[in-house]
C-alpha cells in the first residue's frame, strides 16, 4: 500500500516578534493552493487505480425489477458493474442518536446497492468500475434499469397543508411560547401578518465530492472531500465491519463545503465498496450533476411572521412559524424559527416549526441552517412593520432591543447589536437615505437601501490535539480538524504562536487526517473556537512542563517561578524583570530533544466520555446564558425601472464576532457569507420537478450562483471585542455573514421599487 | 461520452468528403456546445469531423460596404474587430453578452449558429423531449419552462434558441453561406432557423452534409448606431430571458428606418417585422415604440410561468429604442 505522509503546512516566515492574533496574516496554505501543489481527494495517485461512475435512478420511488448490465460490462476496460444483485453486503447505517454524534453522519438511511428499493430520483442504483473514468462513465450510460414505480409524495407546496408540528430534541427546540401572542396580535394597534417562502438551495462548493479509497486487507485508507473525517472513519468502519483503528480518512484540502460535505453521502460508501469488490484502489469523482443527485441541499420553507406593535413601535407580539421538509430517508429539520426567540423584546412570542416528509433525497445542513432562511422572513417582516409604523427600520430595531433574551429571560453573554448598527450606519451613510420607497433615483435606476440583522449562535465542541516544542524552537500542532478554505490552519498557527510567544514561522500545523488526534467536524462555525480552547489548554501544559524542566537547574532564572507571573515571548519564558530563558535553552540544558503534551483522549472510552462532557457543557451553557455572533447588514441596490433587473451596488456588514484572529481570512468568510446571501436573495434556486422529484437544473450553468459581475465591493467591519465566554474571546464566523443578508437585499428592493417580494429568489419577473 | 472516430479535415473538400451524407457525423469547430452535449449523451455522433484547421477565418470588407465573416472566426475575435465595432455595434455587443471570455475564445460563428436549446428537459435524458427523441413528448410543458418560447412555440416543443449572436444577425439581414458537394448556397439568416411545428428536432435549414463557410452582412448605415440589450437572471453568464437587437434611423423626428429582432422568445432569433412596419414613418417617441412592441407581441402567448416574458419583451423593446433615440440617432 502506498504510504501517504501526514499532511503538514509550514507558515510563511514572520520577521517580527509581535503578536500574531489580530494580524491579517496570509493563509498558510495559500501558496500550495495557488501553485497547484495542494492535493485534493480526486488527485491522489495510486498504482493500479480504478475509476468508478454512478448510475442514478430515474424514478422517485419504486423497486428495481430488472437491471441489465450486459452492455455496460462489455465496454472495454470495465472491471465490474455493481448492483443490488452482486454488491458486497454492508451493515445497515446506524439509527441517529444525538448522544453519539457520529451516528448522525449518514446523509440517508438507505443501504445503497443492498436494496432494490428506490427512495429518490437520482439515487445510485449501480456503480461501474473501470480502468479509466471515461470507460466508467460511458458504461454507466449503458446500464438499463427497469422499475416498478410506486406513488411518491414530491410536491412541497402541495404537501404544506399536511405539515405536522416538529418534535424538538436535545440539540434544538422546535417550539417555544411566551404569553398569549395571538391575543396580543389581535389587540395590537399596528400589525403585519405575512407569508414568506424560500426555495431549495444547493451548496455548490467549487470542488465536487470525490473519494479515493484503497484497501489493504482489512485496513482502509480513504481520501474524501469531507468536513468530518472522524465521523466518516467511524461510519465506514461500522458499515464495512472493520476496526476503527484500521480506517484512515485523509482530507487536508477540501474545496469548500458549506455543510454539503458535513455528512456522508452515497459516493463515499460506494467508492469504498467498489474498492472492496474489485481489490483495487478506486476513485469516484462525482460530476456536478452527480453532486446534485446524491448530496442533499437546503430545505425549502414556507414561513409565517406576524408582528404586533404599539404606535411607538414597541413590539407586543411576535409569531414565527415555518414549514420545511425532510425526506422519508433522512434529513434534519433546520431550526428556521429559532432566531425569532432572540432578536426582539416582544412581550408575547410564539415559535413553531412544522415539517413534511417527502420522497426526495434528504435535506442537509447548509451555511447557517435555520437562521439563513429564518432571518429572511423575520427581518423582512420587521422592515414591513417599520413601513406600517413610519419608523426608520434601524430605529424600530433599537426600540425593541432586549436587555435579556426575549423568549426565556436568560442573560446575554453580551450584546453589541446597537454598536454594530451604529458602526455600519456610519460607514454606509444611512443618513442619506430618504424613507419613501421609490424616492431615490440614479438615471434609469431606482435606488434602494435596506438593512437587516445577522444572528448566529456559536458552539464549541471537544477537540483533541498534541502540541510539541523541539529544541530547535519549532512548534508542531497536531489536530485532526478540517480545512475547507476557512483559514483554520492559519488561525490555529497564529493562536499557537501567541500562546507560546514564538514567531508564527516556527509553528507548523498538521491537520486533515484521522491519524491525528480527533477534532470535531467543521460545521456550525465551531471549529476555530473548539481547536483554540484545546490549544490554549495544551500551551499552558507545555509551558508548565518547560518551567518544571527549567526549575530542575539551579542556573535557571526561572527556578522557583510561577507560570502566571511569567510572560511567554521571544521564544521563551520571561519574568517581569526581563530575566528569563528561551525554550531552546531550557531543552538543551535538560538534554531533551522536545517536549510534547496532549489534550483529550482518543481511546474509545475517552472519546465517549468526551461526548458526554460535550453534551453536559452544551446543556449547562445553554441554561446559563445566550450568546451569538451578531451583525448589521446594509445593502444598496439599483433596480432597472424598465426590466426589473436588480443589481447590488454597495454593501456594508458590521459584525460582532468577538476577537478577530485574522482579519484577512475572517473578512473572506464573512464576505463569502454575504455573497451566498446575495445569491439566495436574487438568483439561486434548485428546481425540483414536482411531478418526478427530479432536479432539473443540476449544473452551474442553470443554477444561478452570483458571478463576479453581480457582486459589488463588500465592506466588512468588526467591533472586535472579545466575548467573555469564549476561548480567546472568539466566536465562529463562518455562518453569521449569510444570516440577514437576503432580507437586507429584499428590504432594499422594496425601498427602491415599493414592491415587496416575499418569495425568493427575487427574479425580475416579480418586479415587473 | 461514447466512443467516436475523429477526422481532421484540412480544407473544405476534405471536410465535405469526411462528413459524407452527414448521417451520424458532425462537424466540430470550437466544440463549446457539441462536446458538452456529447458528454451528456445527447449528441451521439459516430464521427466527428474537426474543421478548426480550415481556412475559414477572417473578417473582410465587401465591395459596397458589407462584411464577410469566415465561419470559423472566433466569437471574441469577431466582437473585437474594428469593422464590427464601428459598423455593427449590436453584433459586437451581442457576442460579448454571451457565455464567458473563455468560451468566446473557442466558439466559432458557424458553431454559434448551430447551438442547441438550453431547455432543462432537453438536457435530462430521463425526461421526455421531442427535440432529443422525436415522438417522446415534451416534459417542459407542465414542467419548469420559465425561459421557454412565447412566440412560435408548438404543442410538441416550447424551447428557445439561446444564441445572442444570431439575434443581431437576424436584425442585420445577414446571410449564411453553406457549401456541400452539391455546391454553394446562401440562406437568409431569418430563414436559417426553423420553428418547431411538429418536427422540433429539425432546427435549421442546413442539410446534414452542408458546411457553413461564411456569414455575410449587407451594408447597413443605420447599424452604426445600433444596440443589443440582453435581460437575464444575473449580470453575466446566463442565457437571455429576453434580448433586443435594434437599430433606428430618425430624420427630423420621424423614423426613417428601423431594425428590430428579439432573442429568448422563440426557437429562432425573432425578426420583429411587424414592429418595424409600425415604426416606419412614425414619430420617434415612447408611444410609437409601445405601439410597435404591442404589434409584434400581439401574437405572443405565455403560460403563468413564462408569460412575464411578453411584458418583459415589450419593456425591453421600448427601453432599447428609447435609449437609441436618446443616443442621437
| A689:B311 CB<8 A | no
pLDDT of residue A458: 83
CA distances from B222 to A539, B64, B172, B257, B273 (A): 76, 15, 10, 8, 16
CA distances from A135 to A78, A85, A209, A568, B22 (A): 7, 22, 20, 59, 26
pLDDT of residue A732: 87
Average pLDDT per 10 consecutive residues for chain A, totaling 768 residues: 37 55 94 94 96 98 98 98 98 84 89 98 98 97 97 98 89 89 98 98 98 98 95 96 97 95 97 98 98 98 98 98 97 94 97 97 96 98 98 98 96 94 98 97 96 91 93 97 91 96 96 93 78 94 96 92 95 94 96 95 62 70 84 98 98 96 95 98 98 97 97 96 88 94 98 98 98
- C-alpha A560 chain-centroid distance: 47
Cell 441552517 sits at which residue?
A: A369
Identify the DSSP state of A513: B
pLDDT of residue A461: 79
Q: How far apart are CA A106 and CA A101, in angstroms?
A: 11
- Tell how many helices (H) and how many strands (E) occur in chain A: 17, 30
| A697:B120 CB<8 A | yes
**Backbone angles phi and psi of A735, in degrees to 5:** -115, -30
Return all residues near A409 (Cβ < 8 A) that are at least 6 apart.
Answer: none
Residue B23 confidence (pLDDT) above 90: yes
Mean pLDDT of B167-172: 98
Q: How far apart are CA B181 and CA B16, in angstroms?
A: 7
Q: E strands along A77-139, which residues?
A: 78-82, 117-118, 124-130
- Single pTM value for the model: 0.95
pLDDT of residue A99: 72
The C-alpha cell that represents B24 in the structure block: 451520424
- C-alpha B100 chain-centroid distance: 17
| B41:A141 CB<8 A | yes
Is A289 catalytic? The answer is no
What integer best gives the mean pLDDT of chain B? 97
Identify the DSSP state of A32: H
How distant is the Cα of B295 from the closest Cα of chain A, in angstroms?
19
Name the least confident of A205-209, A613-617, B2-6, B134-138: A613-617
Q: How far apart are CA A133 and CA A693, in angstroms?
A: 28
| B312:A764 CB<8 A | yes
Return all residues near A622 (Cβ < 8 A) that are at least 6 apart.
Answer: none
How distant is the Cα of B234 from the closest Cα of chain A, in angstroms?
7
Alpha helices (runs of H) in B81-187, residue ranges in sequence order? 82-87, 89-96, 101-106, 109-114, 120-123, 165-171
- Beta-carbon-side half-sphere exposure of residue A597 (alpha carbons within 13 Å): 15
Q: Which residues pair with A473 in a beta bridge?
A: none
Residue B68 in contact with partner chain A when CB distance is under 8 A: no
Q: How far apart are CA A231 and CA A515, in angstroms?
A: 13
How distant is the Cα of A707 from the closest Cα of chain B, in angstroms?
7
| A687:B120 CB<8 A | yes
ipTM score here?
0.96
Report how many Cβ contacts below 8 Å link chain A to chain B: 78
Residue B274 confidence (pLDDT) above 90: yes
Q: How far apart are CA A78 and CA A137, in angstroms?
A: 10
Using CB atoms within 10 Å of the CB of residue A422, give its burial: 0 to 12 exposed, 13 to 18 middle, 19+ buried: middle
Q: Is residue A645 a contact partner of residue B319, using CB atoms and an 8 Å limit? A: no
Q: How far apart are CA A113 and CA A272, in angstroms?
A: 13
Return all residues near A241 (Cβ < 8 A) that are at least 6 apart.
Answer: A90, A91
Chain A: residues touching B (Cβ < 8 Å)? 58, 121, 134, 137-138, 141, 444, 642-645, 647, 682-683, 687, 689, 691-692, 694, 696-697, 699, 701-702, 704, 706-710, 763-765, 768
Using a CB-CB cut-off of 8 Å, the residues of chain B touching A704 are 233-234, 238
* Residue of chain A with shortest Cα separation from B229: A643
Of B1, B126, B319, the CB nearest to A58: B126
How distant is the Cα of B29 from the closest Cα of chain A, in angstroms?
21
**Backbone angles phi and psi of A296, in degrees to 5:** -65, 160
User: Positive or negative CA dihedral for A480, A485, A490, A492?
Assistant: negative
| B319:A764 CB<8 A | no
**Backbone angles phi and psi of A323, in degrees to 5:** -120, 130
Q: Is residue A630 a contact partner of residue A453, using CB atoms and an 8 Å limit? A: yes
Return all residues near A716 (Cβ < 8 A) that are at least 6 apart.
Answer: A653, A655, A666, A667, A670, A671, A674, A737
Using a CB-CB cut-off of 8 Å, the residues of chain A touching B233 are 683, 704, 763-764
Query: Buried b / exposed e across A197-215, counting CB within 10 Å, b at 16+?
Result: bbbbbbbbbebbbbbbbbb
**What confidence tens digit (pLDDT) does each residue in B177-219 have?**
999 999 999 999 999 999 999 999 999 999 999 999 999 999 9
Using a CB-CB cut-off of 8 Å, the residues of chain B touching A687 are 120, 144
pLDDT of residue A539: 97
Using a CB-CB cut-off of 8 Å, the residues of chain B touching A675 are none
Identify the DSSP state of A572: E
Return all residues near A475 (Cβ < 8 A) that are at least 6 apart.
Answer: A467, A468, A469, A496, A497, A500, A502, A506, A507, A508
Residue (of A498, A396, A527, A535) closest to A452 by Cα position: A396
* Residue of chain B with shortest Cα separation from A646: B234
How distant is the Cα of A454 from the closest Cα of chain B, in angstroms?
25
What is the set of domains in chain B, with CATH numbers? Answer: 5-53 (3.30.43.10), 225-327 (3.30.390.50)
pLDDT of residue A127: 98
Amino acid at each position: 500500500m502506498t504510504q501517504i505522509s501526514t499532511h503538514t503546512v509550514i507558515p510563511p516566515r514572520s520577521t517580527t516578534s509581535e503578536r500574531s492574533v489580530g494580524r491579517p496574516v496570509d493563509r498558510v496554505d495559500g501558496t500550495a493552493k495557488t501553485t497547484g501543489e495542494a492535493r485534493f481527494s480526486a488527485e491522489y495517485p495510486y498504482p493500479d487505480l480504478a475509476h468508478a461512475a454512478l448510475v442514478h435512478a430515474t424514478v422517485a420511488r419504486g423497486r428495481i425489477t430488472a437491471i441489465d448490465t450486459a452492455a455496460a460490462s462489455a465496454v472495454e476496460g470495465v472491471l465490474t458493474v455493481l448492483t443490488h444483485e452482486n454488491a458486497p453486503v454492508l451493515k445497515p447505517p446506524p439509527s441517529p442518536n444525538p448522544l453519539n454524534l457520529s451516528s448522525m453522519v449518514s446523509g440517508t438511511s438507505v443501504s445503497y446497492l443492498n436494496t432494490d428499493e428506490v427512495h429518490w430520483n437520482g439515487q445510485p442504483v449501480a456503480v461501474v468500475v473501470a480502468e479509466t473514468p471515461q470507460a466508467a462513465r460511458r458504461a454507466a450510460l449503458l446500464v438499463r434499469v427497469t422499475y416498478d414505480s410506486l406513488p411518491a409524495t414530491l410536491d412541497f407546496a402541495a404537501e404544506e397543508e399536511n405539515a405536522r408540528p416538529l418534535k424538538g430534541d436535545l440539540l434544538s427546540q422546535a417550539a417555544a411560547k411566551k404569553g398569549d401572542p395571538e391575543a396580543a396580535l389581535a389587540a395590537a394597534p399596528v400589525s403585519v401578518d405575512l407569508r414568506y417562502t424560500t426555495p431549495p438551495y444547493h451548496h455548490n462548493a467549487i470542488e465536487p465530492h470525490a473519494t479515493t479509497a484503497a484497501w489493504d486487507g482489512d485496513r482502509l485508507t480513504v481520501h474524501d472531500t469531507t468536513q468530518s473525517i472522524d465521523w466518516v472513519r467511524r461510519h465506514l468502519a461500522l458499515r464495512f465491519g472493520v476496526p476503527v483503528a484500521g480506517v484512515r480518512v485523509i482530507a487536508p484540502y477540501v474545496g469548500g463545503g458549506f455543510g454539503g460535505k458535513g455528512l456522508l453521502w452515497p459516493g463515499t460508501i460506494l467508492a469504498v465498496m467498489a474498492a472492496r469488490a474489485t481489490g483495487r484502489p478506486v476513485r469516484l469523482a462525482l460530476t456536478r450533476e452527480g453532486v446534485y443527485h446524491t448530496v442533499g441541499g437546503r430545505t425549502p420553507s414556507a414561513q409565517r411572521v406576524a408582528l404586533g406593535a404599539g404606535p411607538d413601535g414597541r413590539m407586543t407580539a411576535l409569531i414565527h412559524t415555518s414549514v420545511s421538509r425532510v425526506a422519508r430517508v433522512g434529513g434534519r429539520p433546520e431550526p428556521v424559527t429559532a432566531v425569532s426567540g432572540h432578536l426582539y423584546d416582544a412581550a408575547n412570542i410564539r415559535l413553531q416549526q412544522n415539517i413534511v416528509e417527502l420522497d426526495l433525497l434528504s435535506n442537509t445542513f447548509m451555511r447557517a441552517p435555520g437562521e439563513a432562511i429564518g432571518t429572511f422572513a423575520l427581518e423582512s417582516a420587521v422592515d414591513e412593520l417599520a413601513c406600517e409604523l413610519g419608523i426608520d427600520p434601524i430605529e424600530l430595531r433599537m426600540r425593541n432591543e432586549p436587555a435579556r433574551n426575549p423568549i426565556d429571560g436568560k442573560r446575554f453573554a453580551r450584546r453589541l447589536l446597537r454598536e454594530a448598527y451604529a458602526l455600519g450606519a456610519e460607514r454606509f451613510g444611512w443618513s442619506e437615505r430618504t424613507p419613501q420607497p421609490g424616492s431615490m433615483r440614479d438615471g434609469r435606476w431606482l435606488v434602494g437601501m435596506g438593512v437587516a440583522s445577522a444572528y448566529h449562535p456559536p458552539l464549541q465542541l471537544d477537540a483533541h490535539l498534541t502540541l510539541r516544542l523541539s529544541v530547535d524552537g519549532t512548534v508542531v500542532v497536531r489536530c485532526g480538524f478540517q480545512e475547507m478554505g476557512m483559514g483554520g490552519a492559519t488561525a490555529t498557527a497564529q493562536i499557537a504562536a501567541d500562546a507560546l510567544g514564538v514567531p508564527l514561522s516556527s509553528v507548523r500545523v498538521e491537520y486533515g487526517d484521522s491519524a491525528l488526534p480527533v477534532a470535531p467536524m467543521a460545521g456550525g462555525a465551531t471549529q476555530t473556537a473548539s481547536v483554540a480552547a484545546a490549544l490554549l489548554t495544551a500551551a499552558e501544559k507545555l509551558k508548565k512542563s518547560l518551567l518544571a524542566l527549567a526549575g530542575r537547574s539551579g542556573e535557571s532564572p526561572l527556578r522557583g517561578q510561577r507560570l502566571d507571573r511569567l510572560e511567554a515571548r521571544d521564544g521563551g519564558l520571561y519574568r517581569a524583570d526581563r530575566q528569563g530563558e528561551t525554550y531552546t535553552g531550557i531543552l538543551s540544558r535538560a538534554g531533551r530533544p522536545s517536549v510534547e503534551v496532549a489534550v483529550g483522549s482518543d481511546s474509545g472510552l475517552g472519546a465517549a466520555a468526551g461526548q458526554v462532557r460535550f453534551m453536559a457543557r452544551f446543556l449547562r451553557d445553554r441554561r446559563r446564558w445566550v450568546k451569538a455572533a451578531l451583525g448589521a447588514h446594509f445593502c444598496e441596490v439599483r433596480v432597472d425601472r424598465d426590466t426589473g433587473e436588480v443589481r447590488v451596488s454597495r454593501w456594508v456588514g458590521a459584525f460582532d464576532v468577538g476577537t478577530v484572529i485574522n482579519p484577512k481570512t475572517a473578512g473572506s468568510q464573512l464576505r463569502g457569507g454575504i455573497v451566498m446571501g446575495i445569491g439566495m436573495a436574487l438568483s439561486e434556486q434548485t428546481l425540483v420537478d414536482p411531478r418526478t422529484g427530479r432536479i432539473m437544473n443540476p449544473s452551474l450553468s442553470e443554477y444561478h450562483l452570483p458571478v463576479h459581475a453581480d457582486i459589488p465591493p463588500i465592506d466588512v467591519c468588526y467591533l472586535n471585542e472579545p466575548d467573555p465566554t469564549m476561548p480567546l474571546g472568539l466566536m465562529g464566523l463562518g455562518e453569521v455573514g449569510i444570516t440577514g443578508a437576503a432580507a437586507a437585499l429584499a428590504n432594499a428592493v422594496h425601498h427602491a421599487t415599493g414592491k415587496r417580494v416575499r418569495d425568493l429568489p427575487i427574479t425580475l419577473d416579480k418586479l415587473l | 461520452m461514447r466512443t467516436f472516430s475523429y477526422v481532421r479535415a484540412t480544407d473544405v473538400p476534405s471536410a465535405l468528403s469526411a462528413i459524407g451524407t452527414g448521417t451520424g457525423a458532425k462537424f466540430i469547430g470550437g466544440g463549446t456546445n457539441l462536446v458538452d452535449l456529447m458528454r451528456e449523451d445527447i449528441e451521439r455522433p459516430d464521427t466527428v469531423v474537426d474543421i478548426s484547421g480550415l481556412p475559414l477565418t477572417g473578417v473582410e470588407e465587401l465591395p459596397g460596404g458589407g462584411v464577410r465573416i469566415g465561419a470559423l472566426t472566433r466569437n471574441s475575435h469577431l466582437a473585437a474587430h474594428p469593422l464590427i465595432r464601428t459598423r455593427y455595434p449590436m453584433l459586437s455587443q451581442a457576442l460579448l453578452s454571451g457565455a464567458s471570455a473563455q468560451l468566446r475564445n473557442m466558439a466559432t460563428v458557424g458553431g454559434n449558429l448551430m447551438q442547441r436549446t438550453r431547455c432543462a428537459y432537453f438536457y435530462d435524458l430521463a425526461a421526455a423531449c421531442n427535440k432529443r427523441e422525436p415522438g417522446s413528448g415534451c416534459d417542459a410543458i407542465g414542467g419548469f419552462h420559465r425561459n421557454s418560447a412565447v412566440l412560435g412555440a408548438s404543442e410538441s416543443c416550447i424551447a428557445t434558441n439561446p444564441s445572442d449572436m444570431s439575434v443581431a444577425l437576424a436584425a442585420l439581414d445577414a446571410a449564411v453561406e453553406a457549401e456541400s458537394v452539391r455546391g454553394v448556397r446562401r440562406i437568409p439568416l431569418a430563414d436559417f432557423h426553423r420553428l418547431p411545428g411538429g418536427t422540433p428536432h429539425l432546427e435549421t435549414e442546413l442539410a446534414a452534409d452542408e458546411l457553413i463557410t461564411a456569414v455575410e452582412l449587407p451594408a447597413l448605415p443605420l447599424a452604426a448606431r445600433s444596440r443589443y440589450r440582453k435581460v437575464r437572471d444575473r449580470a453575466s453568464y446566463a442565457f437571455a430571458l429576453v434580448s433586443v437587437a435594434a437599430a433606428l434611423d430618425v430624420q427630423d423626428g420621424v423614423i426613417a428606418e428601423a431594425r428590430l429582432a428579439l432573442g429568448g422568445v422563440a426557437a429562432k432569433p425573432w425578426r420583429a417585422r411587424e414592429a418595424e412596419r409600425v415604426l416606419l414613418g412614425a414619430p420617434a417617441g415612447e408611444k410609437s415604440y409601445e405601439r410597435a412592441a404591442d404589434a409584434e407581441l400581439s401574437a405572443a402567448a405565455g403560460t403563468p410561468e413564462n408569460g412575464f416574458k411578453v411584458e418583459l419583451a415589450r419593456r425591453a423593446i421600448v427601453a432599447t429604442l428609447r435609449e437609441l433615440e436618446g443616443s442621437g440617432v
